[in-house]
Amino acid sequence: MNNISFALAKTILNGFERHISLFIEITQSAKQRFELCQWSKVQEAAKARTTFYDQRVNETFDTIKQDFFIQELNDDLWQQVKRDYIELLKNHQQPELAETFYNSVFCHLFERKYYHNAYIFVESTASRLDAQETPKIFKRYTPADKGLRETIVDIMNDHKSEIPYQDLDADVETLIRAFRRQAEKTRFKLADLTFDILNFTFYRNKGAYIIGRVLSPAGETPFIVSVLHGDKGGLTIDALLTKSESMAVVFGFARAYFFVDCLHPHALVNFLQGLIPHKTKADLYSAIGFHKQGKTQFYRDFLNHLASSEDKFELAAGIKGMVMSVFTLPSYPYVFKIIKDRFSPSKNMTKKDVKGKYRLVKLHDRVGRMADTMEYSEVAFPKNRFSETLLEELMKVAPSIIRFEDDLIIIEHLYIERRMVPLNIYLAEALKNKETEKINEAMYGYGEAIKQLISANIFPGDMLLKNFGVTRHGRVIFYDYDEITYMNEVNFRVKPEPVTEEQIYAAEPWYSVAPGDMFPEELATFALANPNYLKAFKLHHSDLLEATYWQQCQQNVADGIFKDVYPYPDQFRFCYLRGTKQAAPY
C-alpha cells in the first residue's frame, strides 16, 4: 500500500515538475523576444504558456489511469498519497503551486464529494514558507555610496538587455525629476535613502518593467519603471509610476500575464503585495502567469469571506443577458456567470460555442480592455445564502447545470470575474446628475476600448453599452464575449444610400446583408441612440463610425502591425513630460 501511495504521489509531482520546467523555459525566453521585437512570437508564447498547465494535468491523469488502473477512490490509499506528497514537498521551492497541481489531478480522477481537506489541499501546508528565511529576490542599493545618478544607471544596467539605450543619460535625468515631482517620501538626503529592486525584469507585450521600492525616513515608495524600444532603434525609459493605484492598473485583471523569471513565486507575491496592498494574492499569482494558483487562492479567499459574511447572493445589476445569467454577492467584488440552457432566438450558437469564446479571451492578449475570467466546475455554495428570487431565476434558465446536495447548491460550470458598473448604468447616473465630464470620459474610454480590441485582432461583436463595464479606476472594460470573433471574419461595409422612396421608408434593410457583415455607422443608431452619448463619443471617436477605419485596422492585423497600448495614462510617459506630445484622457 505504501509503495503504491508513494508511487502515485511521485507521479503527480513528476507531472508538476515537467510543467514548471516548461513554464520556466518559455518564461526565460521572453527577454530574447523583447530584444528582437518579436511581437507576434510574444503573443504566441503567451497563448502557449497559458495552456501548459492543463496539458500537464491531462498527461498526469492519463498516466495514473493507465499505470495504476484507478477505477474508484480507495479512502486509505488516497489519504496516504496526500501524506506522501506533503513529505515530498518538504524542501520544494514552489510547494503552493505543486499542491494546486495535485488538486487538479485528483479532481480529474474523482467526483466532487471527495473534494475536502482529507484528500486535497483545501487548506495549504505551504504556510511554512512564511516561517522560513525569505529568498533573496531583490538587490539593495544605497545611493549615498556612488551618488543618485550613478546608482540609477547601475540599476538600469543590472537589468540591461543586448539592446543599448538611445540616451540613458537623458532618461535618467528625466527619471530623477519625475521621482522628485511624484514621490514626496523620497525627498531626503541620499544617506537616508535605500533602493530595493527586484532581481528580474517583468516582460509583457512590447514592454519591460523594473519594479522596486525606495525606503526613506518617511516610509516606503513603490515604483515601476517602464522600458520600451524607442523610435531610433535603442531602448528608452518610457514612464515612472510611484503610486499603488497606478501600479495596480499595470497589474490589472484586464491585462495579459507577465513573463517574470522568478523561482520563488510565494516570496515575489508577498513583495508585490507590499507595494500594491489592495491587490490580492490571487490577483498577483495570476498576473505573474500562475493563473491556476490565482484560482486556488481566490477560492480559499472566497470560502473565508463566506464564513465571515451573512449577505445573500442576488442577481447582478443591469440588463439580463440573452446567453449568460449573472449573480453576485453584494459584500464581495465579483460576479458569477453561468451559461443558460437556452438562448434567445437571435443568438445562433451553442454552449460549446460560448465556452470557446471565453477560452479565446483567456488565451488572447486582453490589452487592458477585456476582463480576465476564472472558470470553475462543480462549485458548491451554501443554499441558504441564495435569495429566493435568484434561485427561481437560476432554476428557470439553467436547470441542467444545477443540483442540490443536502444544504448545498452545486453549479456544474461557471465563470467568475471582477464586478464592474455596467456602462449603461454608469452613464445614466452621470446624465441624471448632469455630470458632463464623466460622460465625456466614459465615452472616450468606450471608444478606446473598441479601438484597442480591434487593433489586437478582437472584433467585440455586440457593442451595446450594457456589455461594457466601468472599473473603480474609471477604465471602460468589455465583458460580454459570446459574439467576439477575429477581425478577418468580419466584412466591414459602408451602408448603401437609399435612392427610391421605397428604399427610404423601408422598415427592413432593402440591401443584402450576409453573415459577417458589419456597418460601423450603425453604432450611432444602436449603441449611441442617446444624443448626449453620441456627442461625447464623436469628440474623440467619429472615425469608428466609418468603415474605412475598421478596414484599415483589419489590414494592420493582417500585416502583423501591433498597436502600442500603454498600461498607464499618457501623463506618466516621459515624451509627454518633456512636452513633445499632447496627452489624451485615460
Cell reading at 86 = 506533503
Q: Which of 238, 398, 271, 391 is nearest to 324 (CA)?
A: 398
Phi, psi of 582 (to 5 degrees): -100, 120
Q: Which of 584, 561, 578 is nearest to 238 (CA)?
A: 578
Amino acid at 431: L
Tabulate helix, strand, coil % of the chain (nearest 5).
50, 15, 35
Name the maximum alpha-carbon separation found in the chain.
Answer: 86
Task: Give dist(CA 486, CA 561) in Å, integer.
Answer: 15
51 φ/ψ sector (left φ>0, alpha ψ -120 to 50, else beta): alpha
Cell reading at 409 = 447548491
Q: Considering just the CA atoms, what is the radius of gyration of the chain in Å?
A: 26
Q: Are 520 and 550 in contact (CB under 8 A)?
A: yes
Q: Which of 479, 472, 483, 494 is nearest to 548 (CA)?
A: 494
Task: Give dist(CA 439, CA 533) in Å, integer.
Answer: 7
Q: Are 190 and 144 in contact (CB under 8 A)?
A: yes
- Other C-beta atoms closer than 10 Å to the C-beta of 343 total 20
Based on the residue annotation, tell me whether 283 is a catalytic residue of this protein: no
Q: Are 122 and 81 in contact (CB under 8 A)?
A: no
Q: Which of 372, 462, 480, 482 is catalytic?
A: 372
Q: Are 347 and 229 in contact (CB under 8 A)?
A: no
Q: Are 140 and 195 in contact (CB under 8 A)?
A: yes
**How many residues appear in the chain?**
586
Q: Are 228 and 203 in contact (CB under 8 A)?
A: no
Instruction: Count Cβ atoms within 10 A of the Cβ of residue 406 and give its class: 0-12 exposed, 13-18 middle, 19 or more buried.
Output: exposed
Question: What stretches of 178-265 adopt beta strand conformation (E)?
Answer: 194-198, 202-204, 207-216, 219-229, 235-241
- Element at 504 (helix H, strand E): helix 501-504
Q: Which of 50, 130, 117, 131 is nearest to 86 (CA)?
A: 117
Task: Give dist(CA 574, CA 416) in Å, integer.
Answer: 37
Q: How far is CA 410 from the centre of its chain?
A: 26
Task: Give dist(CA 209, CA 237) in Å, integer.
Answer: 10
Task: Give dist(CA 195, CA 59) in Å, integer.
Answer: 44
Residue that is written with C-alpha cell 447548491 in the block: 409
Active site residues: 372
